[in-house]
Amino acid sequence: MRWIGPMPTGKQWLLIIQIWVGVAIAIGGCHWLRTLADSRYIARRCERRIRKSVDPNELQRWAADILRRYPPDTATTPAQIAPPRTLEGIWRNRPSVALQPTIPDEEAHVRIIWGGGFLGHWELLLGSTNFVAGGKCKRWQPGAYFCGPFP
């Protein structure tokens, strides 16, 4: 194969290499920013991982047990409830667990929360099969909802 036009000099080659390295760094930086700082992308990715690897019925049994042991409408809730092991590794940070007491139009349920800070957060809500979540939530199955991300 023949080179068309004059051959680049040493300085021109250096400039060409620098441009290509800069483009590669910019593309890598955009990917890094998206995977670590775009809460919508991260929430969708977590949801896909959960749908693929976690049994929703098992999660709801876990949530029902938590609600039975620590009714959120009473003051017996422990300071920290460990999330189910099946949710470890869904995102780089471990989720937190909160108990939501009964309010008008919404029964008590368990909130599993990821994110926080400047990212915002996203949640998995688990209740009885009669539980219906509102707002920015998508139904996974009766009583289980993915919600967020919330700024």
Predicted local confidence at residue 144, as pLDDT: 97
Any residues with CB less than 8 A from the CB of 125 and at least 6 apart, and which?
100, 109, 110, 111, 112, 131, 133, 137, 144, 145, 147
Cα(39)–Cα(135) distance, integer angstroms: 17
Predicted local confidence at residue 134, as pLDDT: 80
- Cis omega (within 30 of 0) on the bond before 151? no
Structure tokens at 10: 């040493």
CA angle (54 as vertex; 51, 57 as ends), nearest 5: 100
Domain boundaries, the chain: 10-150
pLDDT tens-digit readout, 14-62 = 888 888 888 888 887 776 766 666 778 888 999 999 999 999 999 999 9
Predicted local confidence at residue 145, as pLDDT: 96
- Beta-bridged to residue 103, according to DSSP, are 106
pLDDT tens-digit readout, 70-91 = 888 776 666 688 999 999 889 8
pLDDT band (50, 70, 90) for residue 136: confident
Structure tokens at 86: 């099946």
pTM summary value:
0.76
